[in-house]
Amino acid sequence: MMMHWLKTYKGAVVFGAVACLALFTLFYSMLTEPAPRLAESGLEQDGQGGAAQEGQDLDQPLEETAPPDFPFTEGFEEYEEWMIKWKKGFPRPEEEEFEVLDVDNKRQIMLVRLHKGVDPMTWYKRWAGRTDIEYIRPNQRVEIKSWHDSKSVTPEKVEALQAYLQQINAEAAWEVADRNDEITIAILDTGIDLTHPLLKDFLVEGIHLITYTEEEQERLDIDPTPQDYNGHGTQVAGVIVAAENEWGYRGLLRSANLMPVKVMRDDGSGSEFDVARGIYHAVDHQADIIVLSVGFPFNSEWMREAVEYAEEHGVLVIAATGNSEEGTGAMQVSYPAAYPSVLAVGAVNERDEYERYSNFGPEVDLVAPGTVFTTDTGGGFTKVQGTSMAAPQVAALAALVMHQYPELTPVEVRNHMIYTAEDVYQEGWDMYTGHGRIDMGAALSTPPVKDIYAANHSPEQAAPFPIETMVYSELRDKEDRDYFIVETPYRGTIELDIYLHVGKYNGIDLTFYPNGDENLAQTFTIQKEEVLVLEVPQGASLIRLSYNDKERRTTPVPYQITNSFNIYKDNQHPNHSPEEAYPLQGDGKVIVGTLHKEQLADWFVFEAPAPGQLEVLVTVHTSRLDPVLRIYTPEGHEHIEDNDDPPWEERYVTKVRPGRYYIVVEDYYGNQVNEEYYLIATYSPLEEGTGPDTRLTGRGRTGP
């Protein structure tokens, strides 16, 4: 019986427990590619919510305040800079309303800055409708975050400060290999101290890629080299490779080639345009490994294209999962680590316990110690903490694996580090430490295998296949069966991008069992490359791969599958404009909503029958969704609730007059979010003799 494997699967209860806890807390607190094949399914279909009644048109002042076809959250300072990608076959577009800051003609994208006085909404609506434009999006901010201690260090302290080297079994690895001069590691960061005595001998030609406005170029004394004036990039570099000094300090590698790619400003800030451009530069200049100890909470077409470009050209991209404020790690792996093709690295402490500042989620692949002793600007050293310092340890190990096993492809190097990692924190894969903490000694002494999931030949031994990740394995022969568990936090769809490294005539069969139910099984035959879109229920489902019965050439076939999840459309859908606004009764009922597409806003309408008080609350249970709550009065005035700190909720309380109030829920960054939000609107009439005051009592800011 196939169903019994679900009863003992550890991972199957993780997301469910989180969701149940969130609901309890809520109620308690309230007292190119192949066309996708859309699979038919016996699963329950999404319900359709009711739209507002006919005649509920938006008042004219509201039309002017928030045009519904401007798909970005208002209030970003970044809206002054925009990325415009134009379509192939068209010339570069020109316009008098903006300054062109930079252009990449090869990839047909440019960064522009709107002139003062140009309204972003009006400009965007006009440009987004042009036939030569592929997409337009704001150039959003990127940041680095780590904590360091610059106190003076004495020689006797060095060994203790580098205790993490023993934790990752570095000395055992050094007995096998301690350098790789044949590859180049690109560090996309604040630059590197080009004159640091322990680093300078390992630097190859780098570049300064930060984009400046004309005003900044005139005002600032800009150093055109990738010199580090912040320290973060130098700290990352010293973890990877550094000459040994008289105190015994050393990097993980004794020798390697480091390419400094300066994409972050001296204050630690940057932009998605510059970071993605740094990835393209590193790939085009023969980097083998790219290290990104930077992160941001939003998805980006431009960034996704860049990491896919790196994967297509055989470059291994390694990125930190990101840090939240110390002690408040968030279930929100930062981008670009959250992309399936990027190896996402979190942090553990000296006891191999999950570091509380380390962002976690299904995208986590590996972890490494978060606290290191490393090089700093000015020829110095410092103690630093953060996932930023865990990622370069994995990059150094990848370099040694490439040296020891030069026949491995980048995806096989990734697999080998996962295969040889030490399982820590929770047994098996978990969303906090991924597949485990790197073990350098094991990685260099264990022969690589094509199938790192060799034991997954039955439902009971199915290997975890978290959403937003990638697996690479092999079917050895016709008798081989590979089983994987896919855990989805909600119902929705998964997109499986499948690629066989050896084409087959009849191919292999992929069978999908929703919640392990054989009665709902669906089988698809893959000959070379395929994209499947499958409806999935909440919880653990099963995937089986095997040779097609008719296939005669049953020699080993390596395969690669990328797994992407998309949450269901909520029961209020479609309610993404004022005309479609879903009616609220004001009775305190919980409305469960989802933002299943990028740049989506959910609209609701409440008709106040008489003077009273209206309380609106929207809450979520992880920081993956950063809710913004907008309220429009009958007069068209806008109020925005947008608080930055946990708990992740927005609340608005005000006295109301009779009339129509519009309520809008959206994600601050406009992401498609695989989380639910919970909306509650509670209306209570005023006691007799109380006036219809409309003063705001909620936190937030008042819009124009």
Band the pLDDT of 352: cuts 50, 70, 90: very high
Among the options 148, 196, 232, 403, which is catalytic? 232
Domains and CATH numbers, the chain: 2-9+457-567 (2.60.120.380), 32-55+574-702 (2.60.120.380), 77-139 (3.30.70.80), 142-445 (3.40.50.200)
User: What is the Cα–Cα distance from 281 to 370, expressed in whole angstroms?
Assistant: 28
Q: DSSP strand E in 96-157: where?
A: 98-104, 109-114, 133-138, 141-143, 147-149
Q: How confident is the model at residue 80, as a pLDDT?
A: 82
Higher pLDDT, residue 150 or 204: 204
pTM equals: 0.86
Among the options 189, 193, 288, 376, which is catalytic? 189
Strands 659-667 and 627-632, bridge-based pairing: antiparallel
Region of 378 (left: φ > 0; alpha: ψ -120 to 50; beta: rest) is left
User: What is the Cα–Cα distance from 632 to 703, expressed in whole angstroms?
Assistant: 10
Higher pLDDT, residue 52 or 243: 243
User: What is the Cα–Cα distance from 526 to 148, expressed in whole angstroms?
Assistant: 50
* Residue 571 CB burial class (10 angstroms; 0-12, 13-18, ≥19): middle
In tens, the pLDDT along 426-448 reads 899 999 999 999 999 999 999 99
Active site includes 388?
yes
In tens, the pLDDT along 322-343 reads 998 655 556 789 999 999 999 9
User: What is the Cα–Cα distance from 254 to 245, expressed in whole angstroms?
Assistant: 11
Residue 328 CB neighbours (<10 A): 12
The alpha carbon torsion through 70, 72, 75, 76 (nearest 10 deg) reads -130
Q: How confident is the model at residue 577, as a pLDDT?
A: 93
Asked if pLDDT for residue 14 goes beyond 80, the answer is: no
Average pLDDT score over the chain? 85
Residue 318: both structure tokens together: 């390694």
Q: Where is 399: in which H helix or E strand? A: helix 387-404
Q: DSSP strand E in 459-554: where?
A: 463-464, 469-475, 481-488, 492-500, 508-513, 522-526, 529-536, 539-547
Alpha helices for 438-589 (secondary structure H): 440-445
Q: How confident is the model at residue 680, as a pLDDT?
A: 97
Band the pLDDT of 131: cuts 50, 70, 90: very high
Higher pLDDT, residue 626 or 183: 183
Q: How confident is the model at residue 55, as a pLDDT?
A: 31
Q: How confident is the model at residue 62, as a pLDDT?
A: 34
In tens, the pLDDT along 409-428 reads 999 999 999 999 999 998 99
Q: How confident is the model at residue 154, as a pLDDT?
A: 57
Asked if pLDDT for residue 37 goes beyond 80, the answer is: no
User: What is the Cα–Cα distance from 620 to 76, expressed in whole angstroms?
Assistant: 22
Give the long-range contacts of residues 58-64, CB within 8 A, separation 24 or more. 58/578, 58/579, 58/662, 59/634, 59/635, 59/636, 59/660, 60/636, 61/635, 61/636, 61/637, 62/578, 62/632, 62/636, 62/662, 63/636, 64/636
Rounded to a whole number, what is the largest CA-CA distance in the chain? 86
Band the pLDDT of 148: cuts 50, 70, 90: low
Q: How confident is the model at residue 300, as a pLDDT?
A: 87
Active site includes 288?
no
CB 403 within 8 A of CB 132: no
Q: How confident is the model at residue 551, as a pLDDT?
A: 83
CB 155 within 8 A of CB 109: no
Q: How confident is the model at residue 141, as a pLDDT?
A: 87
User: What is the Cα–Cα distance from 509 to 186, expressed in whole angstroms?
Assistant: 39
Q: What is the DSSP letter of 177?
A: -
Among the options 341, 388, 546, 623, which is catalytic? 388
Residues constituting the chain: 704
Active site includes 621?
no
User: What is the Cα–Cα distance from 652 to 226, expressed in whole angstroms?
Assistant: 47
Higher pLDDT, residue 122 or 499: 499
Q: At 325, is the secondary structure helix, strand, or coil?
A: coil
* Residue 151 CB burial class (10 angstroms; 0-12, 13-18, ≥19): exposed
User: What is the Cα–Cα distance from 55 to 660, expressed in whole angstroms?
Assistant: 12
Mean pLDDT, range 598-608, rounded to an integer:
94
